[in-house]
Structure 1
Amino acid sequence: MAALDQLRGQLGLALGAAANGRQAAEVELARLQLQQRIVRTGIDRSGNDPEIVEQAKQPAMAGVADWLGQVRDQFYAEWSDGPNRLRELVAGAAPGPASRPASEWLGRVGTGTGAHVPELWRIGSSTVDNRSRGIAQTFDVAVPLLDDSHLAITSAPKTRHAIDGLVEALLMRVLSTFEPGAVRVHLWDVGQLTAVLPNLYPLGRTSALTVHDPAHLTDLLDELAGHIRRIHAYTMQAGHTSLRAMRQATGRYREPWRIAVLFGNGEDLQPEQLRALKRVASGALAAGISLILVDVPTVLGGSVETISLIDEHRAVSSMTGTDLVVTLDPPLPAGQVNRAAGRLAEALVAKQGGPRTFADLLPTELGQENSAEELRAPVGYYEGDPVEVVIGDASPHALIGGPSGSGKTNFLYALLGSLAARYSPDELALYLLDFKEGVSFAGLAPGRKDSSWLPHARLVGVNVNTDREFGLALLRFLADELRRRSAAAKDHEVTNLADLRRQDPGGHWPRIVAVIDEFQYLFAGRDTVTATATSLLEDIARRGRSQGIHLVLASQDVAGIEAFWGKPAIFEQCTLRIAMPKARRVLVDTNNAAVTAPRWHAVINHESGVAHGNQLAHVPDASTKDVFGQLQRRLWERYAGAHSEPRLFDGAISPELTESAAFTALTPVPRPSALVGQTIDVADAARGVELSPAPSRNLAVLGTAVREALSIMDSSARSLARQYVPGEVEFLVNCTVELANPSVTALVESLTEDGHTVSLVPTAELSERLGTLADQLAEPERPTVLLLYGVDGVLPTLEAKPPGVLKSGLDHLRAILKQGPGVGTHTVGWWRAVARLKDTLGFTGTDDVGAWAALDVQGAELSPFCAGQVVHWSPRPGRALFFDRSTHASPEVLIPFHHPDPEQVS
C-alpha cells in the first residue's frame, strides 16, 4: 500500500507538471497568435480592432503590444538607412528600363542580348512611415519576372484599368530592355475576344505578341507545355538544368523568353485547365516562361510573387509584406505606348528582314563545328528566327515525308548544305541514295559540265529505283561500319562516339549520315531483298545512334510499307520527323500541323511527331543548281585536295569496261579471271570468274538479250587477254548468231592487235577443231579459251556424227568442259536457252559449268544450276544474275559493261 501511495503521488506530480506545461504552451501559443494578428493588422492600426484590444486586456497577454513596439523601434533604429539600401538594390538589380522613368526609355528599341538579365522590374514605390520617430522614407518596389518568378495579381472593385496599366508597364519595360524578338508575349482574357491591352496591338503583326481565343485556354496551355518539353530536352542534352543556366554558360540566347498573361474573372478554372496550368507553372521558369495571372484563383507551383490591389492607386505585395502599402506607378500614356509598340514592331520586322535565302543559312566561316557530340544545322526560318535540325544521340534518325511537289528534295538540299557548311569532311561523311527516276543527287558528284563535287559525299546513288540491291548494299556497308566502330569502342572501353573520339584522337571517326530518298522502293517486294534490308535497317536504327551512324529516310508516303508491320522499332528510332505540306503518317495521327503548313514550309519535330514538338520553318530555295552549286564549289575548293571524289552509281548508265578500276589494274597472272560485270555495291568493283586449274571453271551466258550477252562475252575475253602474255594463250572463237558477227569481228581484230593468237572457227569446222582440242587435253600445247557465241545454234552440227566416227563434236565439247579447266582450257559460252545448256551438258554434266550469268531467264529455270535452291529473279534490262558456285552462297545481280548496239559495231 505504501508503494502504491508513492506511485500515486508521483503520477499526480507528473500529471500536474504536464497540465502546467500544457497551460504554459497554450498561453505562449495565444501570445504568438496575438502577435501575428497585430503584425498583420499593423501595430498602429491594431488599437482600432476591438477583438485585438479585448484579447490584449487578458493578464496572460500583458506586454505583447509593448514588446512588439520595442521590436519595431529597434528595427527602425537599426534600419534608418534601409530605404536607401533598397533603392540601391533595385537600381542594381533592375537597370535601365527595368526601373528607370519611362521618359528615359519608352519608344526606344532595346539592345539587351540576354547576357545580363534584370532580376527585378519596378511596379511602384512604398514609404516607411514612423511619425513617432520622424521617419518617412520612400523606396522603389520591384518584382521578379522572366527566369525568377511568376506573378499573381488580385484586383479590387473597379480596378481593371489600373491592372491593365500595371501589366502594360511591366511588359513594355521587358520588351524595351532586350533586342527585338527576344521576348514573346501571349495574352488571354476569359472575358474578351479583343481589346486585351490594345495599346500593344502594333506588336500583333510580329511574333512578339499573340492574343489567344478566350474559349481556347487549353490550346495555349498545351502550346506552353510543348515548349517546356522541347526546351527541357534541348537544355538537358546540352548538359544544363535550365534555359537560364544554358544562357549564362554560352552568353547568348537561342530561345526567346515567353510571358503568358492570363486575365481571369475571380472564378475557378475548369479542373482540367487548372491541372494543366499547375503543370505548366511547375516547369515554366526553367524553360524561360513567366506567368502573370490576374484574378485566377489558384496556388501555382514554383516561385510566385503576389500583388493585391487595395484601390486603383494602391496595393500590397509579397515583396514588401502587408504592413507596407505600395503606391503603384501611374499607367503609361496610351498614345506613347502605342507608338512605342509600333517602333518595336518595325525594329523586329527590320531585324527579321524579308524572305531569307539559302545563303542566310550558312555560317560566316566554313567547317568550324565539331561533330563529336551531335550535328546541328539550321534548315529554315520562322518569323526571322532560325529553326535547327539536331541529329545526335537524342534524335539519331530522321523521317521525312511529303507528297510530290511539296519541297522534299529542296529540304534535303537545305539540310545537306547547312550541315556541309558547318562540318568539315573529317567531321561528317554523307552517303546519298535516291530511288526516284531522277538525278536529284547527281550534281553532288563530278559531271561533264561541272567537275566539282561535294567533298563530304562518299557515295552518290541515283536512278536506282529498279536496283533495290544497291540500297541493300548500302545497308550492309553501314552494318559493317557499325561493327567496326563497336569493336573499336569496346577496345577503348567506351560506349559512344564522343567518348571514342576522346580516347582515340588519332582515329578517323566522322559522323555518318545516310540519306535514302524514296526509301520505300527498297521494301517494294516480298523477297529476300526486303527481308534482309528490313533486318539490317532495324539493327542500324537501334544501335547506330551510339556509334554516330544516322539514317535520314525520305518518302512520299510511309503508310503502306508492309515490311515494317510488326517492326515499330524502325520508326520509333526516327525521333526527328520532318513533315512537308500535306504529308501523311510522318507525324503522329493526332498531329495535323502538316495539313495546314503553307507551301515552301516544313514542320520540324524532334519529339517523334507529337504535337508539342512542332516547329514551323520556311525553307529557302536550296536545290537550284546556281544556289547550291556556289556552296559546293566553295567546299570543293577548300577540301577537294585532301579528299577523293565520291563514288557515283547511276542505275541508268552502264559502266565502261575501259574505265573500270578492276579492268585497268589487270596484269598477267597465273590464275586469270574473266570479268562479267560491275557489282551493285558501295565499292566500285567488278565481279569475275577465276579460270583456275580446277573442275567446272567455265562460264555460261544464258538468255536472248543480245547486247547484254555480247557485253559479258566481250568483257570476259578482253579481261582475260590482259592477264596473259601475248602468245601465251590461244582464243578459239565461233559465232552462230548473225547479229553478233560485227561485235565478234571487232573483238577478234582487237585481240589480234594486242598480239594474241586468235582463231575464228567456222561452224562447219568446229567439230573437227573441238576434236583436235579434246585430243590434246592430255598434253596441251598452251592455255586455250573457247569463246562460243550461240552454242544452241551450233548444237545440230555438233551432234552430227559421220559414219565410222566414234565421237561427235558434242562429245568433244563435253570432254573439254569436264576435263579442260584442269589443264588450262576454259570455255566461255553463250546459250540462248537454259534447256539448250542442259542438252549440251547431258544428264551428268550440270556441274561442268561452275559459273553462269543469266539475262532474260526466269529464276525458276535456274534452280538446277544453283545447287537446287529457289532463285528469285525477274529479268531486268541491263542487268544479269550471276552465280559462281566456288564463291557464292546465292546468286548476285550484276550490271554488264556498256556495249553498243550490235548493228552499230563496225
Structure 2
Amino acid sequence: AAVGRGGGEGTVAVVDAVSPAWAERFGRALAPLRTTAGPHDRSPAAALPQSARLLDELGLARATPASLMARWASAADSTGDCTAVLGAGPRGPVSVDLTVEGPHLLIEGPAGSGRTELLRSVAASLAAAGRPDRLGLLLVDGAGGQRGGEGLGVCTELPHVTEHLIASDPLRMREFAQALGAELKRRAELLGPLDFAEWHTGREVSDRMIGQRPPSDQRGDIETPGSGSTMRLRTTSGRTAPAQPGAAGSPTPLPRLVVLVDDFDALVAPALGSPGRPAAGSVVRALEAVARDGERLGVHLVAASASPDRTSDTDLAQRTRLRAVLDAPPTAPGPDDPAPGRGRLGYPDGRVVPFQGGRVTGRIPRTATLRPTVLPLEWERMGDPPTRRPVRELGNGPTDLALLASALERAARSVDAVPVAPLTPAHP
C-alpha cells in the first residue's frame, strides 16, 4: 500500500509486512476519525435535533438530590457556578457562563419562537448549577399577563426564586424597583472598591485566619495596625465568630443574583392602556442599573425581547456581549420542522453557535429512555455523535421542571442551604 503526503508530491511510504485483512481492519478503525477543524472536514458536527429536553442536556435525565449535590460541590469557588445551559448544539450542550462570558444575556425572537420557554430553561439550569444560598433568581413578567399563559410563574417552584413580579400592579412594580435599587446600593457600599469575586476571596482568607487561631484567642479579633507593624487583638465579647463560607448552615453572605425578564420590550415601551404603564419606567431604570453596575456587584440580567428595535437604545442592549436570536416559527409547521427554540447564540469572541432550545416544561414518560430504538446509520457518518431519538409527550405526569424543583428542594435541605431572602425596599 502506498501512502502519499503533500497532495501528490513529497515522501511516499510503502507499508509492508502486514496482510490485506490487517490493513482493512486498520483502515476501517481510522475511518470514523475526523479532525477537529479544517477546510477539508466534511462532517464537522451532527445536525441539530428537532426538539431537545433540558434535563438530558444537563446530564440529569433522572434528577435526584444526590446528583444535584454533586454538581453543587463541583462549583469552581464559593461564589457558586453561574452557567446556564440553553439547549442542544451541533457538538453537545450549548451553555453560557455569565461570570466569564457575560455578565448579561439578551434573547431576541418574535412571537412563537420560544423565548419564554428558553428563559424557563435558563432559570432551571442556573438552579441546577448553584446552591440556593449562593444564587437567587428574580423573575419579571414584563407583559403583565397580557399575552396569556403562565409566563415565568411556573419557575416559582424552584427554591432559588425569591421574587416574581407581574408588571400589572403599579404599586408592586414601584416596590420591586425600590427594593432592587436598594440591593444594588447595599452591595456597592459593602464591596467598596472591590468587585464581587475579589470581596469573596478576601473574606475567605479572613475566615481561614480566624479559623486557624489557637483556642486561647477565640474571643479576640485581629485589629488592623496603624503605623506600626505589630498586630493587636481587640476583645469581641458578645460577638459570634464569622461563619465559614462553605460550612453547613451558614449561607454565603453575599449570593449572586440573576434577574430574568420576559417581554423586556413591553416594559421599555408599554402599550397604551396597559395597567403597568405608570410604573414601567421605574422598573426599567432599576434593570438598567443592573445592566450598568451588575457585573461588579454580582448581579446578572437575562432578558427576552420580541421587538429589538424598542430596546436597542437601552444599556442592556448596548452592553450585552451574549445574544441569542431565535428563529420565527413557520406559518404552516410540518412534521419535519423543529420545535420552537431554534436559534443562534453569539459569543463575545465572535463565535456563533446554532442550538435547539431545551424544553423544561414538557411531560415525558419515564419509560421513554428504556425503549430500544433502531436507526439507519450511513457508513460515512459512523464517527458522528449518535442521533437523538425523538420522544413523544404523553401528558401523564409532572413536568420536568416540577421534577427538578422537587429534587432541588430535597438537595437544599440535605446541605442546609437556606434560600436567599427576598429583597426589601429601602426605608426613608
Give TM-score, length-normalised by structure 2.
0.60
Instruction: Name the residue aligned to 1:540.
Output: 290
- In the alignment, structure 1 residue 578 sits paired with structure 2 residue 274: no
CA distance in 2, matches of 1:377, 1:358: 11
Q: 1:617, CA displacement in angstroms?
A: 0.8
In structure 2, relative to structure 1, the CA distance for the partners of 1:443 and 1:354 (3 Å cut) is closer
Instruction: Name the residue aligned to 1:601.
Output: 342
| Counterpart code for 2:267 | L
CA distance in 1, matches of 2:33, 2:171: 53
| Counterpart code for 1:511 | R
Q: 1:517, CA displacement in angstroms?
A: 0.7
CA distance in 2, matches of 1:472, 1:605: 34
Q: Of 601, 606, 627, which residue of structure 1 is paired with 2:400? A: 627
In structure 2, relative to structure 1, the CA distance for the partners of 1:414 and 1:181 (3 Å cut) is farther
Q: 1:579, CA displacement in angstroms?
A: 1.1
- In the alignment, structure 1 residue 495 sits paired with structure 2 residue 194: yes
In structure 2, relative to structure 1, the CA distance for the partners of 1:531 and 1:414 (3 Å cut) is closer
In structure 2, relative to structure 1, the CA distance for the partners of 1:606 and 1:535 (3 Å cut) is same
Superposition RMSD on alpha carbons, in Å? 4.2
Q: Of 45, 69, 89, which residue of structure 2 is paired with 1:382? A: 89
The answer as to whether partners of 2:54 and 2:359 remain within 8 angstroms in 1 is yes
Deviations 1:839-881 (A, max 9, x none): xxxxxxxxxxxxxxxxxxxxxxxxxxxxxxxxxxxxxxxxxxx
The answer as to whether partners of 2:81 and 2:129 remain within 8 angstroms in 1 is no
Q: 1:426, CA displacement in angstroms?
A: 2.2
CA distance in 1, matches of 2:95, 2:268: 30
1:448-847 counterparts in 2 under 5 A? Answer: 453-461=157-165, 464-490=166-192, 495-505=194-204, 506=243, 507-524=252-269, 529-561=279-311, 565=313, 568-582=314-328, 599-607=340-348, 612-624=350-362, 626-640=399-413, 642=416
CA distance in 2, matches of 1:425, 1:178: 47
- In the alignment, structure 1 residue 444 sits paired with structure 2 residue 297: no
Give TM-score, length-normalised by structure 1.
0.30
Q: 1:622, CA displacement in angstroms?
A: 1.5
Give the 3-state SS of the residue equivalent to 2:324 in structure 1: strand
Q: 1:469, CA displacement in angstroms?
A: 4.7
The answer as to whether partners of 1:538 and 1:569 remain within 8 angstroms in 2 is yes
The answer as to whether partners of 2:132 and 2:420 remain within 8 angstroms in 1 is no
| Counterpart code for 1:576 | L
| Counterpart code for 1:604 | L
- In the alignment, structure 1 residue 207 sits paired with structure 2 residue 44: yes
| Counterpart code for 1:518 | D
CA distance in 2, matches of 1:472, 1:615: 38
CA distance in 2, matches of 1:419, 1:407: 18
Give the 3-state SS of the residue equivalent to 1:183 in structure 2: coil
Q: 1:394, CA displacement in angstroms?
A: 4.4
- In the alignment, structure 1 residue 362 sits paired with structure 2 residue 108: no
CA distance in 2, matches of 1:516, 1:354: 26
Q: Note the residue ranges of structure 1 that are not aligned, 5 or more in a row.
A: 1-100, 103-121, 125-152, 154-159, 167-172, 188-202, 209-347, 446-452, 584-595, 648-680, 685-886, 889-906
Q: 1:683, CA displacement in angstroms?
A: 5.2
CA distance in 2, matches of 1:504, 1:613: 36
Instruction: Name the residue aligned to 1:90.
Output: none
> How many residue pairs were aligned?
306
Give the 3-state SS of the residue equivalent to 2:359 in structure 1: coil
CA distance in 2, matches of 1:467, 1:387: 36
1:282-293 counterparts in 2 under 5 A? Answer: none
Q: 1:549, CA displacement in angstroms?
A: 0.3
CA distance in 2, matches of 1:375, 1:635: 16
Deviations 1:79-119 (A, max 9, x none): xxxxxxxxxxxxxxxxxxxxxx99xxxxxxxxxxxxxxxxx
CA distance in 2, matches of 1:534, 1:429: 20
In structure 2, relative to structure 1, the CA distance for the partners of 1:618 and 1:559 (3 Å cut) is same
Give the 3-state SS of the residue equivalent to 1:481 in structure 2: helix
The answer as to whether partners of 2:138 and 2:257 remain within 8 angstroms in 1 is yes
In structure 2, relative to structure 1, the CA distance for the partners of 1:489 and 1:380 (3 Å cut) is same
CA distance in 2, matches of 1:547, 1:459: 19
The answer as to whether partners of 2:51 and 2:357 remain within 8 angstroms in 1 is no
CA distance in 2, matches of 1:354, 1:181: 25
Deviations 1:606-651 (A, max 9, x none): 23xx9x331111123212252221111111121157467899xxxx
1:414-453 counterparts in 2 under 5 A? Answer: 414-436=121-143, 437=145, 438-445=149-156, 453=157
| Counterpart code for 2:293 | R
The answer as to whether partners of 1:362 and 1:418 remain within 8 angstroms in 2 is yes
CA distance in 2, matches of 1:478, 1:408: 24
In structure 2, relative to structure 1, the CA distance for the partners of 1:176 and 1:418 (3 Å cut) is farther
Give the 3-state SS of the residue equivalent to 1:430 in structure 2: strand
The answer as to whether partners of 2:50 and 2:338 remain within 8 angstroms in 1 is no
Q: 1:577, CA displacement in angstroms?
A: 0.9
1:97-136 counterparts in 2 under 5 A? Answer: none
The answer as to whether partners of 1:431 and 1:515 remain within 8 angstroms in 2 is yes
More helix by share: 1
Q: Note the residue ranges of structure 2 that are not aligned, 5 or more in a row.
A: 14-25, 61-66, 205-242, 244-251, 330-336, 363-397
CA distance in 2, matches of 1:428, 1:646: 7
CA distance in 1, matches of 2:76, 2:175: 29
Instruction: Name the residue aligned to 2:213.
Output: none
In structure 2, relative to structure 1, the CA distance for the partners of 1:410 and 1:537 (3 Å cut) is closer
Highest RCO, 1 vs 2 (Cα 8 Å, sep ≥ 6):
2
CA distance in 1, matches of 2:187, 2:419: 24
Give the 3-state SS of the residue equivalent to 1:616 in structure 2: strand
CA distance in 1, matches of 2:318, 2:88: 27
Q: 1:545, CA displacement in angstroms?
A: 0.4
Deviations 1:100-145 (A, max 9, x none): x99xxxxxxxxxxxxxxxxxxx977xxxxxxxxxxxxxxxxxxxxx
In structure 2, relative to structure 1, the CA distance for the partners of 1:161 and 1:577 (3 Å cut) is same
| Counterpart code for 1:509 | L
Deviations 1:349-389 (A, max 9, x none): 9xx99965322222463123246386223322222422111
CA distance in 1, matches of 2:167, 2:345: 27
The answer as to whether partners of 1:393 and 1:545 remain within 8 angstroms in 2 is no
Deviations 1:499-534 (A, max 9, x none): 111122445122110011112332335987354444
Q: 1:176, CA displacement in angstroms?
A: 7.2
| Counterpart code for 2:343 | A
Instruction: Name the residue aligned to 2:18.
Output: none
In structure 2, relative to structure 1, the CA distance for the partners of 1:442 and 1:354 (3 Å cut) is closer
